[in-house]
Amino acid sequence: MAIVLPTVKSDVDNRWVSQKIGMIGSAGIGKSEFWSHGATLYAQCEAGLNHLKVMKAVITCWDDFREFVSALLQAKTKNEFPWDTVVIDTIDKLVDYAQAEAVARGRAKFKAIEINTVGDIPNGAGWAWAQDLVENGLSKLEELPCAVVFIGHLDNKEIKEPTQSIHKQTISIGGKMGGMLVAWCDHFLNISAQTIGGGEIKRVIRTMPTRTLDAKSRGGVVPDGWVWESSSEANYKKLRGMFK
């Protein structure tokens, strides 16, 4: 195919269906509930949605996720797609499933070696296989006419610099996989709980990265320091109102 060189700048794509969003925060801070107010379909990879009235597909292994993605692509082809958002809850557990799949492949390929973890697979192939599975799965979801979201756990990781070590709030998934997931997002929403006067706790969305915090919002669409109200529905509607 011949390449056509553009002479006009492209438009900014601020449509909801084009967004890729990651959300991390401590347990119980309201991540899953936040997404329950839209036409959202959850890929429930770990328990925690029983207290919410939602549309969900229970994912217990990588084969389940593969079938989930395939069913969504078929629904798109048939023009039977009532959802505007697909949420992976949580990405941490989905990564576990991908690593278990990599271990199974490793055992099939390297029968003479005892393989119990991805690290046991020679030449780092297990880590690469698991990351390829997750990347390819996300790429397939990007083909859908909806926003794609993952919910993840937050971790305070020690980062060693030349002269000192710092602790950084980021996704709990380490290594290249964690870096890939943060890079994949258009908006990486980092929720922190902060204490204000009188001992009241407020939830704050960070979207500006710092040395000690991973966060972002391409185009600055989601403001840094956005303070959530007590109503998760009001918070969700405010986020949706930032997009077309």
One CATH from 1.10.1200, 1.10.10, 3.40.50, 2.60.40 for 16-185: 3.40.50
Confidence band for 198, pLDDT divided at 50, 70 and 90: confident
Domain boundaries, the chain: 16-185
Tens digits of residue pLDDT in 154-170: 999 888 778 888 889 99
Q: From CA 79, how far away is CA 82, in angstroms rounded?
A: 9
pTM: 0.94
pLDDT (tens digit, 9 = 90+) per residue, 16-65? 999 999 999 999 999 999 999 999 999 999 998 999 999 999 999 999 99
Give a three-class secondary structure readout of 160-205: ECCCCEEEEEEECCCHHHHHHHHHHCCEEEEEEEEECHHHCEEEEE
Q: Report pLDDT for 162.
A: 80
Note whether 129 and 137 are within 8 A (CB). Answer: no
Q: Is 217 helix (H, G, I), strand (E, B) or coil?
A: strand
Angstrom distance (rounded) from CA 55 to CA 66: 18
- On the CB side of 144, CA atoms within 13 Å amount to 28
